[in-house]
Amino acid sequence: MKLTKRTIDAATCPPGKRDVLIFDEDLPGFALRVTAGGAKVFLFQYRAGGAIKRKRIGEYGTLTPAAARTRAEKLRGQVLDGGDPVAAAAAARAAAEAAAKAEAYTTRALLDEWQAAKQVQQKGRSFATAKGSLAKHLKPWLDRPASALTPDDVMGLLDDLAGGGQAGAAVYLRARGHAAFAWAVSRRRLAANPFTGVSSPVKAGVRDRVLTDAELGEAWRAAGTLGWPYGPYLRFLMLTLQRREEVAGMRWAELAEDGGRWTLPAARAKNGRAHVVHLATEAREVLREAPRFGACEYVFTSRGTGSVNGFARAAERLRAAVQADREARGAEALAAHRGRLPALDWVWHDFRRTGVTAIAAMGFAPHVADRILNHVEGTINGVAAIYQRHEFLPERERALLAWSRFILASAAGRDPMAAGAGNVVLLPRGGAANVG
């Protein structure tokens, strides 16, 4: 029959059937489905790929017969042109769902998932620092879709960092950012990696900066002027030669009752291995003078609500304090540096390098320095590392005690090597004596 208002109003579903399909006699494929419950829906039926398909047009009442017929004619035109309206509609829905999902997948969500996944894969190694650094540099995009970050945006970020004297930060951002977004692409969470094809504006070189005795001494003195928490934190960092994030996150519960050792748990160590750090007298003094903030678990904290952070700001304050010390000492500072004041271009890791260099110069074996730094691979590696499980704890204790004396001698303007800082023997109960 011809589908008109009169015929549609009169159409019913035969008794005993769930529904009935009534086709229009003028427009091939145009039909009306009438259900046993009285619902009436327009649709268009066609054949594609050897299969019969039906595309829903709309309900009678919402659509007039004339409007439904117009839509059916358009669908028929698509089919005659080789189209498949049902498949096209499904593709459109999938695209819309993908777009909505991409819109909801923010850069913040990407970084959270990446950190969680990588820590599971690498057994305890902390990716919190990498995530925090990326979040800092990608702050404008954190709550926007991850797909909104473009290669041009990345290039601009890297150039700004390099141009602002933060070449190391640019290299780090390029490496870690590429890794995080590549993970998201591999998990089908993102279609493309905006870091791909964007080269770093500077080459990642291997730093070999070692502070002179005078530089080490002035950094120690300057740290003593900064106050809580940065001053004590920086001095403890120098004394222990541990990583800045691991020291910043130190808990009171990780310290031995006598204050002589700090045990870094595997969950917080970069390499996933628990690590014992012996504390010299000066390091213990830092802890004795540290304020306690109620139930706060962190040793180095500003307000008792979390661990100390803002490492870049701390470095700026320390450099400013060193510069002030140089200006106050004048000719004395110039003489200490043998007539030429070196640039304040050191980074935190340079203190670790300086420490192990001094420890080696004082006669301690390289594998002792490796253990102090908690390096998984060092002078003992390969098959030997599998069988060598000795931790050289007494040697490490002597080395860190010698290093603390090295720092104090440097700060006092004395030759740290002339004092025989390496000639240390242990006494009962962890005491020590110089037998040079």
- Residues 116 and 102: their CA atoms lie apart, in Å, by 20
Specify the pLDDT at position 156.
Answer: 93
- Which residues partner with 46 through β-bridges? 53
Q: What's the token pair of residue 247?
A: 């020291």
Model confidence pLDDT, tens digit, residues 159-196:
998 888 788 788 889 999 999 999 999 998 888 999 99
Burial readout 52-67 (b: 16 or more C-beta within 10 A, e: otherwise): eeebebeebeebebee
How many folded domains does the chain comprise? 3
- Residues 147 and 126: their CA atoms lie apart, in Å, by 26
Residue 206 lies in a domain: no
Where a domain ends, among 151, 186, 221? 186
More confident residue, 119 or 15: 15
User: Other CB atoms closer than 10 Å to residue 325's CB: what's the count?
Assistant: 16
Tell me what the mean pLDDT of segment 15-39 comes to: 95
Residue 22 lies in a domain: yes
Specify the pLDDT at position 182.
Answer: 95
Q: Are strands 424-426 and 51-59 parallel, antiparallel or unpaired?
A: unpaired
- Residues 165 and 177: their CA atoms lie apart, in Å, by 19
Tell me what the mean pLDDT of segment 82-90 comes to: 93
Residue 30 lies in a domain: yes
Specify the pLDDT at position 208.
Answer: 76
Residue 33 lies in a domain: yes
Residue 361 lies in a domain: yes
Model confidence pLDDT, tens digit, residues 282-331:
999 999 999 999 889 999 998 888 888 888 888 899 999 999 999 999 99
Whether 176 and 226 map to the same domain: the answer is no
Residue numbers of the domain that contains 289: 213-434
- Which residues partner with 55 through β-bridges? 44
**The pLDDT of residue 411 is above 90:** yes
Whether 178 and 290 map to the same domain: the answer is no
- Residues 191 and 76: their CA atoms lie apart, in Å, by 35
More confident residue, 433 or 353: 353
Q: How sure is the predictor about 121, in pLDDT bands with cuts at 50, 70 and 90?
A: low
Q: How sure is the predictor about 225, in pLDDT bands with cuts at 50, 70 and 90?
A: very high
Model confidence pLDDT, tens digit, residues 364-383:
998 899 999 988 654 444 43
Looking at the chain, the whole-number percentage of residues with pLDDT higher than 70 is 89
Whether 124 and 32 map to the same domain: the answer is no
Could you tell me the CATH number of the domain that includes residue 281? 1.10.443.10
Label each residue of 140-179 as H, E or C: HHCCCEHHHCCHHHHHHHHHHHHHCCCHHHHHHHHHHHHH
Residue 194 lies in a domain: no
Specify the pLDDT at position 372.
Answer: 93
Model confidence pLDDT, tens digit, residues 10-21:
999 999 999 999
Where a domain ends, among 84, 102, 120? 102
Could you tell me the CATH number of the domain that includes residue 34? 3.30.160.390
Residue 199 lies in a domain: no
Whether 63 and 111 map to the same domain: the answer is no
| Average predicted confidence (pLDDT) for the chain | 87
User: Other CB atoms closer than 10 Å to residue 106's CB: what's the count?
Assistant: 18
225 close to 272: Cβ distance less than 8 angstroms: no
Where a domain ends, among 102, 126, 146? 102
Whether 371 and 293 map to the same domain: the answer is yes
The secondary structure element, H or E, covering residue 35 is strand 30-35
Length of the chain: 436
Residue 88 lies in a domain: yes
Whether 310 and 278 map to the same domain: the answer is yes
Tell me what the mean pLDDT of segment 202-220 comes to: 82
**The pLDDT of residue 414 is above 60:** yes
